[in-house]
Amino acid sequence: MATAKVLFSILASLLVLEQALALATFDTDTVCIWGEDNCQIHGDNLTLILNQWSGITKWHFHMHIFLSSLCTVIFLAMHFFSGAAVKGTKEFLFGYVSKRIKLVPDNSAAVVTTYYASSPWVSTENDTHDEIDFEFLGNVTGEPYTIHTNIFVNGIGNKEEQFKSWFDPTSDYHNYTIFWSPYVVVWSIDDIVLRVFKNNKDKGIPFPKTRPMTVYSSIWNADDWACQGGQVKTNWTHQPFIARYLNYEDSVCLWTGTNSIQDCSAVTPENWYMAPQFRQLAPSQIDNMNDVRSYYMIYDYCSDTKRFNGAMPQECYLSPY
């Protein structure tokens, strides 16, 4: 598997696949689904705002996010603040999506900004959704953001990995990419891979392959949760909290019905992500990833033996790439 010739490179993919890269724009491919007044879409610019007193939180949206969180949820009374959320208009199975994001600057403690792909979330009782997450947990001025990643398959997550930001995500735009193929899911920032999740379905590990996803972005207030023992509070004197997004790009296999499960997994030139060079990371990418992981990783579910009572998820014993 680890033959040196293999070249998975998102950078190369961008060059090679320029035609395949549909220039999605926020304007044409995104709709606001929460906090109308707090979503601003201008061409390929998207601004999401969190402020106080402008609206009422919506339960279902918080419930969705809560699954993605490590924190225990304790809802307090109704809060009169509003964040915002947008949803892509395309449903797809596999491909590449990227957005450039500039996160909330200064004191952003308890403010969470997200960018994730998810299949429809049908019900709490019988949740079978798939999801690939980036979440950015704000911090007090001068302290690093936490970059939180997770993956859900058939409604089950519990695969969190967190990183300290190794750059200032608030002073400039950075490119956040999700790559998803039947072989692998790859999270990267500015072409540096920080995480891979390989398809080990043959070893009994679930992998998302049949449910179409849509891309979401949102900003919301997390201080009504018992994160970090509940001491982290949003400092509303700093409102409005503003996250900016630019350059929504994608190259995806559009979902046209259950036939897409086969069509999007077929090895054809249109399904560029099926090509051998996208099945595995290049050695230089692995080196960069290992550097980032050794210096900036702050949580790895595979190291959390206490949480799993020593019965670690099976993929923790397998090579991640």
Q: Which residues are catalytic?
A: 131, 135
Rounded Cα distance, 92 and 260, in Å: 9
Contact segment (CB under 6 A) with ligand NAG among 42-50, 150-158, 254-262, 279-287 equals 42-50
Between strands 81-82 and 297-300, the pairing is unpaired
Spatial CA neighbour of 91 closest among 268, 217, 218, 216: 216
CB 285 within 8 A of CB 184: no
- 30 or 139: CB nearest ligand NAG: 139
Q: Which of 36, 43, 56, 319 binds ligand NAG (CB under 6 A)?
A: 43
Rounded Cα distance, 125 and 233, in Å: 31
Count of residues touching ligand NAG (by CB under 6 A): 10
Contact segment (CB under 6 A) with ligand NAG among 121-129, 135-143, 201-209, 308-316 equals 135-143
- 44 or 250: CB nearest ligand NAG: 44
Between strands 131-137 and 45-52, the pairing is unpaired
- 114 or 139: CB nearest ligand NAG: 139
- CB of residue 215 to ligand NAG, shortest distance in Å: 19
Rounded Cα distance, 131 and 123, in Å: 14
Instruction: Calculate the CA 46 to chain-centre distance.
Output: 17
Rounded Cα distance, 69 and 94, in Å: 24
- 183 or 301: CB nearest ligand NAG: 301
Judged by CB under 6 A, the chain residues 225 through 284 that form the site for ligand NAG are: 246
Rounded Cα distance, 197 and 319, in Å: 10
- 35 or 138: CB nearest ligand NAG: 138
CB 244 within 8 A of CB 217: no
User: Which amino acid makes up residue 104?
Assistant: V
Kindly state the tokens that stand for 183.
Answer: 């072989």
Decide: is 45 part of the binding site for ligand NAG (CB under 6 A). Answer: yes
Q: Which of 114, 118, 119, 139 binds ligand NAG (CB under 6 A)?
A: 139
Chain contacts with ligand NAG (rule: CB under 6 A): 42-43, 45, 137, 139, 143-146, 246
